């Protein structure tokens, strides 16, 4: 698992990215569950880190666009 960065969000607790495998890890605040999104470009992760609203960014740019699994 990549290093997780805690973010300021009511929905998302922490995010991490593994550039070798192109996996984006997202830990959700309410459930504590971590999801892995596959084949995510690094620029998407960088934009995610900078987004004012992590939840809106996740819904608009990641969910439904990348395959995922749950850890």
Residue 7: CB partners within 8 Å, gap ≥ 6?
13, 14, 15, 49, 54
**In this model, does residue 1 exceed pLDDT 90?**
no
φ, ψ (nearest 5 deg) of residue 50: -85, -10
The neighbouring-strand residues paired with 69 are 36
pTM (predicted TM-score): 0.95
Residue 6: CB partners within 8 Å, gap ≥ 6?
13, 14
pLDDT tens-digit map of 18-44: 999 999 999 999 999 999 999 999 999
The confidence score (pLDDT) of residue 15 equals: 98
pLDDT tens-digit map of 45-56: 999 999 999 999
Distance, in Å, from the CA atom of 71 to the CA atom of 59, rounded to the nearest integer, reads 19
Residue with tokens 């470009």: 41
């Amino acid at each position: 698992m990549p290093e997780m960065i805690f973010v300021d969000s009511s929905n998302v607790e922490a995010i991490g990215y593994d550039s070798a495998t192109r996996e984006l890890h997202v830990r959700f605040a309410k459930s504590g569950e971590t999801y892995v999104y596959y084949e995510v470009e690094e620029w998407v992760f960088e934009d995610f880190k900078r987004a004012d609203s992590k939840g809106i960014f996740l819904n608009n740019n990641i969910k439904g666009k990348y395959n995922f699994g749950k850890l």
